[in-house]
Amino acid sequence: MAIAQHSKDIAKGTFWSLGGNLLIKLASFFYLVILTRMATQADVGEFYLALSVIGVVILFADLGLSGALIRYLPYYLERKEISKGMRLMRISYAAVSVFSAIVTIIVFFLADPIAGIMKNPGLIQTIKLLCPYIVLNSIFSLNTSFFQGVKDIRTQSMLSNVQNIAKLILTVLFVFTLGATVFSIVIGFLASFVVALAISFWYLKKPLSELAKGQVQTDESPFTMLAEIIPFGIMISTINSLWMLSTILTG
């Protein structure tokens, strides 16, 4: 009976994952078409170049905790260690919020030398404008990782699609109201994460409140848990960065 239910969960997860990925690719396609039709090639290129720079930083801006959450949260819940699951969530949000904010400040002040290395002075302002993306994406990744950890692939896929569709709609809105500039593109991009993040927290309220009811007091130091899960998360982030590098080199 348990095997049959597990098979159903896998089938549902696969369906929502495939459907979600299809919608994401479709929205991304229309987004790219709109950008290339409405903005100049130079502005689009500058935006994606700055986004690539920030994207490399983001791989480690959450200390790998979003990846670790996918592994450790279901492990704790399966063992009925609800307190550890809730503690993991609290520690992850605190650590990611602080560390990603520090990384954001560092990248903001390093925008000039980064642009200098790439010999593109115009990149300075775009990188600085995109810096909030580091914090927004890091926390949003934690939220979606939670749903993946509790096997709610439907909500995870929905949230990812909300962000992509919001990005499409808001970019068009800002381009029409503010003009087809890098600033409009960046603002639309960042606003989509604000919208998706707000919705994700609304969906998180119920499952987190249910988990909170089952927790008990513990004297375990939060640093003990961090010492266990951060190395695992960093390893996952390193593997992802190597995969990204190999894709760039072979692509």
Give the residue-averaged pLDDT of 11-28: 59
8 A C-beta contact, residue 74 and residue 88: no
Q: Which has the closest alpha carbon to 32: 51, 57, 15, 16?
A: 51
pLDDT interval class at 86 (50, 70, 90) = confident
Q: Give how many domains the chain has, as a whole number.
A: 1
Q: Is pTM, for the whole model, over 0.85?
A: no
Of 162 and 10, the structure prediction assigns the larger pLDDT to 162
8 A C-beta contact, residue 163 and residue 192: yes
Q: What's the domain range around 199?
A: 2-250
Residues of the chain above pLDDT 70, percent: 78
Give the residue-averaged pLDDT of 47-55: 90
pLDDT tens-digit profile of 111-139?
Answer: 999 988 888 888 999 999 999 999 999 99
Of 230 and 48, the structure prediction assigns the larger pLDDT to 48
Q: Which has the closest alpha carbon to 30: 38, 20, 40, 41?
A: 38
pLDDT interval class at 184 (50, 70, 90) = very high
pLDDT interval class at 157 (50, 70, 90) = confident
Tokens, residue 90: 């609290």
Give the Cα separation of 226 and 217 in Å (integer): 18
Q: What burial class does residue 107 get, using C-beta atoms within 10 Å of its C-beta: 0-12 exposed, 13-18 middle, 19+ buried? A: buried
Sequence-distant (6+) residues with CB within 8 A of 12 are 153, 154
pLDDT interval class at 3 (50, 70, 90) = very low
The pLDDT of residue 6: 42
pLDDT tens-digit profile of 202-249?
Answer: 999 888 887 777 655 565 666 677 777 878 777 777 766 665 555 444
Indicate if the pLDDT at residue 94 is higher than 80.
yes
DSSP codes, 143-195: HHHHHHHTT-HHHHHHHHHHHHHHHHHHHHHHHHHH-SSHHHHHHHHHHHHHH
